[in-house]
Amino acid sequence: MTQKVALVTGAASGIGRATAERLRRDAWSVVAVDIDTDRLRWVDEVGDAGLVAHATDVTSEEGNTAAVARAVEAFGGLHAVVLNAAVGSSGSIETQPLAELDRVLEVNLRGVVLGVRAAIPVLRTTTGSPGRSIVVTGSVSGLFGDADMWAYNASKGGAVNFARAAAIDLAHDGIRVNAVCPGGIAATGMTTPMERHAPEMFEEMRSHVPMQRWGRADEVAAVIAFLVSDDASFVTGAAVPVDGGVTAGTGQFRPPRGRS
């Protein structure tokens, strides 16, 4: 295997698509994975032999195994896995149905665990450069709490701490595991509905970002690209915020406006 090969879940749109595109520009061969076959068609439309689509459900053990097998079949192996697929959730801790908690945990936490488990046997056999790496898309909501987002907070907090634990367990195999923790990123499945249907909330969230703007998916992808590269060869078990400075503060005060 001479090329570097990555698998990216949740790659139909948003951060996942931006990551697949960024890694391809960095000369990775990429398997773009998503359950949304319609939006995953962008891969076929690109017409790039180094970029292939694979439709699967990340909550399925068989689906994760098949995605890894697709990478081996298409490109001969696997160097990096980016576990980005996720769903959002909001509601009262008193009244939100527990079935919603089950759904969010199944995708955001169990899906990550299954992705790591499926990748380990192949990553262990990978040699050469770049080294073997896993990146989990966590969230700043996995580092701190939010109002009426208890299920999402629990799922992302679990994913971030799972990444830390996996980093320790897999270090002896030379497999690095890190989490990237985005803040407010525009034009994603999480934020587009808010922008369309709750513009006041969308603007309020922006105003609490010290950099006074929403982030872009390609900015998160750039951090992921670093974490899977050999430039990050001694970085494992990290949870890296990409949030415009949100987690630098206490949240008690609105950040100052820029000076004219």
Q: Which of 28, 150, 152, 214 is catalytic?
A: 152
Active site residue 126: no
Q: Quick one: CA dihedral 129, 177, 113, 142, positive or negative?
A: negative
245: left (phi over 0), alpha (psi -120 to 50) or beta: left
Task: Report d(CA 152, CA 108) in Å as an integer.
Answer: 8
- Residues involved in catalysis: 152
